[in-house]
Amino acid sequence: MPGRLFPLGGPVSEEDIVDREDFLISLETRLLECQSIMLAGPRRIGKTSLALEVIRRIKGKENYVAFVDLFRYNTKRELALALINACLENRSGISKTTTALKDGLKKITGAAKLTAKLQDLEVAFGLPGESKSDDDLFNYALELPEILAQKDKKHMVLVFDEFQEVIRIAGEDALKVMRSYFQVQQHVAYLFLGSKEGMMNTIFGDKKQAFYRFATILPIPSIPSESWVEYISRKFQAQKITISDRVILEVLSLSGGHPQDTMLLCSEIYYSLLEAGVNNLGLDFVRLGYERALSSLSPVFDELLDELGRIGSTRRVLISLTRGLRIYSGLSSNPNEVKRAVDVLIDKAIIEKSGRGAYHFVEPMLKEYLNRKIEVF
């Protein structure tokens, strides 16, 4: 967001993407080789930022790109139109080509050029009209990337953000239909992103699923501390604030290097300094910023806890983890129930497995929040 020193709450622009360079190169190379990829990861770790940056680079090299965020749609028809528009934008230069065609056809003026531009794709007439059934439109949308790429002699990269939502939008059978189109396409590579890791892993990793082995599943690497240290010191120094590496390492140990939590913490530290008119960042301001960041996260964490409160023994398991206990030995519940709770916590990207029977919090700030709240449970 313009004017913000540390970007928060949405995809970050190129200059604020910390590290990721090697991973971006790897994504770009694979996609340009027509390899489709699946990336699943917890909320707010930077999936969309990565995808947008990769398509920015790919587009710059004269390829076609399309980006569709499935969180934004509720019906098959909406999804189909979004996909068609994202594809056609490469040729028409406008984001809502189907609407422009529809309006244009009514008004006549201005439509002729656009229609001519798209004539060979058979979308110019009838497409936005009501005559096509949802399924016809959906099938057409799935076919379009390859048709377009072939006709224009381009390579195309298509990103589906929050891909697991396709089941909510179009039903499980839609996956079969999609795969049947995608697998014969020669000029299109797909990048599937998802924040519900469990669902994504099932869609792409379960033998019974249509997308089984369709895409290479890559883990999203964590951002190394050195990259954060370099970024954070550069940012503060640009504001004429002095900061030592030791202080930055303290920031990172509090946030655990979680991308958005680290940005939030830095941001709160920065505002605390500004308000106090101080330009030398010491541990006292790190503490202050941390308290402020934790309180700004509390509504998010509370909502998460409310949600978990309704799911069996997940809360109990979470408390044991917060206390640093080994969950299977420390709890009296039956192991199957514990296992189910652990699965829920992993699926919700609250914890990650770090070894046999050992788990850690994805966000150390949530752990600290729970620590302080534990007696209230």
Shortest Å, Cβ 41 to ligand ATP: 6
Q: What single letter denotes the amino acid at residue 308?
A: L
Q: What are phi and psi of 2, to 5 degrees?
A: -60, 145
- Planar angle of CA 217, 219, 223, nearest 5 degrees: 155
Shortest Å, Cβ 161 to Mg ion: 6
Shortest Å, Cβ 149 to Mg ion: 25
- Planar angle of CA 208, 210, 213, nearest 5 degrees: 85
Q: Which residues on neighbouring strands pair with residue 64, listed in sequence order?
A: 156
At what angle are helices 364-373 and 314-322 packed, to 10 degrees?
Answer: 100
What does the per-residue mask of binding to ligand ATP show for 312-351, with x meaning CB under 6 A? ----------------------------------------
Element holding 360 (H helix, E strand): strand 358-361
Q: Residue 48 interacts with Mg ion (CB under 5 A)?
A: yes
Q: Residue 272 interacts with Mg ion (CB under 5 A)?
A: no
Other residues' Cβ atoms within 10 Å of the Cβ of residue 67: 18
Q: Given the rule CB under 6 A, which of 25-33, 41-49, 54-62, 95-103 is the region that contacts ligand ATP?
A: 41-49
What does the per-residue mask of binding to ligand ATP show for 134-163, with x meaning CB under 6 A? ------------------------------
Q: Which is nearer to Mg ion, 70 or 251 (CB)?
A: 70
Sequence-ordered list of residues with C-beta below 8 angstroms from that of 184, at least 6 positions apart, any chain? 146
Q: Residue 257 interacts with ligand ATP (CB under 6 A)?
A: no
Q: Could you say which of 37, 39, 45, 338 contacts ligand ATP (CB under 6 A)?
A: 45
Q: Residue 57 interacts with ligand ATP (CB under 6 A)?
A: no
Q: Which residues on neighbouring strands pair with residue 193, listed in sequence order?
A: 39
Q: Could you say which of 128, 145, 194, 259 contacts ligand ATP (CB under 6 A)?
A: 259
Q: Residue 367 interacts with ligand ATP (CB under 6 A)?
A: no
Give the one entry of ligand ATP, Mg ion, none that residue 320 binds, where binding means its C-beta sits below a cut-off of 5 to 8 angstroms depending on kind. Answer: none
Three-class SS state of 68: strand
DSSP state, residue 159: E
Q: Residue 92 interacts with Mg ion (CB under 5 A)?
A: no
The closest residue (CB) to ligand ATP is 46
Q: Are strands 358-361 and 351-355 parallel, antiparallel or unpaired?
A: antiparallel
Shortest Å, Cβ 265 to ligand ATP: 10
Q: Exposure string (b/e) for 201-240, b if CB count within 10 Å is 16 or more?
A: bbbbeeeebbbeebbeeeebeebeeeebbebbbebbeeee
Distance, in Å, from the CA atom of 275 to the CA atom of 156, rounded to the nearest integer, reads 49
Q: Which of 142, 175, 163 is nearest to 39 (CA)?
A: 163
At what angle are helices 97-107 and 76-92 packed, to 10 degrees?
Answer: 80
Distance, in Å, from the CA atom of 4 to the CA atom of 342, rounded to the nearest integer, reads 37
At what angle are helices 259-276 and 283-309 packed, to 10 degrees?
Answer: 130
Q: Residue 8 interacts with ligand ATP (CB under 6 A)?
A: yes
Shortest Å, Cβ 67 to Mg ion: 11
Q: Which is nearer to ligand ATP, 91 or 258 (CB)?
A: 258
Q: Residue 164 interacts with ligand ATP (CB under 6 A)?
A: no
Q: Residue 260 interacts with Mg ion (CB under 5 A)?
A: no
Q: Which is nearer to ligand ATP, 155 or 348 (CB)?
A: 348
Q: Could you say which of 27, 36, 37, 46 contacts ligand ATP (CB under 6 A)?
A: 46
What does the per-residue mask of binding to ligand ATP show for 17-36, with x meaning CB under 6 A? xx-x----------------
Q: Residue 221 interacts with ligand ATP (CB under 6 A)?
A: no
Q: Residues interacting with Mg ion, by CB under 5 A?
A: 47-48
Q: Residues interacting with ligand ATP, by CB under 6 A?
A: 7-12, 16-18, 20, 43-49, 195, 223, 259-260, 263
